[in-house]
Amino acid sequence: MPRLFNITNHAITDDQRADAIVSLGIGDVVDMPPDIARCWGTVPPELDSVCDYVQPAVDWLASQVTKGDIVWVQGEWGAVLTVVLWCHAHGLRCVYATTKREATEVHSENGVQMTHVFRHVRFRDFPSVPSV
Average pLDDT by consecutive 10-residue portion of the chain (132 residues)?
Answer: 96 95 96 96 95 97 96 97 96 95 85 85 90 62
What is the per-residue pLDDT for 101? 84
Q: Bridge partners of 100?
A: 119
Assess if residue 26 is contained within a domain. Answer: yes
Q: How many domains, in total, are found in the chain?
A: 1
What is the per-residue pLDDT for 57? 97
**How far, in Å, CA of 130 to CA of 30, rounded?**
29
pLDDT single digits (tens) 48-68: 999 999 999 999 999 999 999
Determine contact, residues 31/11, Cβ cutoff 8 Å.
Answer: yes
Assess if residue 132 is contained within a domain. Answer: no
Determine contact, residues 57/78, Cβ cutoff 8 Å.
Answer: no
Q: The pTM is what?
A: 0.86
Q: Which domain holds residue 35?
A: 3-125
In the chain, the amino acid numbered 22 is V
Determine contact, residues 6/32, Cβ cutoff 8 Å.
Answer: yes
Assess if residue 117 is contained within a domain. Answer: yes
**How far, in Å, CA of 72 to CA of 123, rounded?**
9
Assess if residue 131 is contained within a domain. Answer: no
Assess if residue 8 is contained within a domain. Answer: yes
What is the per-residue pLDDT for 119? 85
In the chain, the amino acid numbered 94 is C
Assess if residue 55 is contained within a domain. Answer: yes
What is the per-residue pLDDT for 131? 64
Assess if residue 93 is contained within a domain. Answer: yes
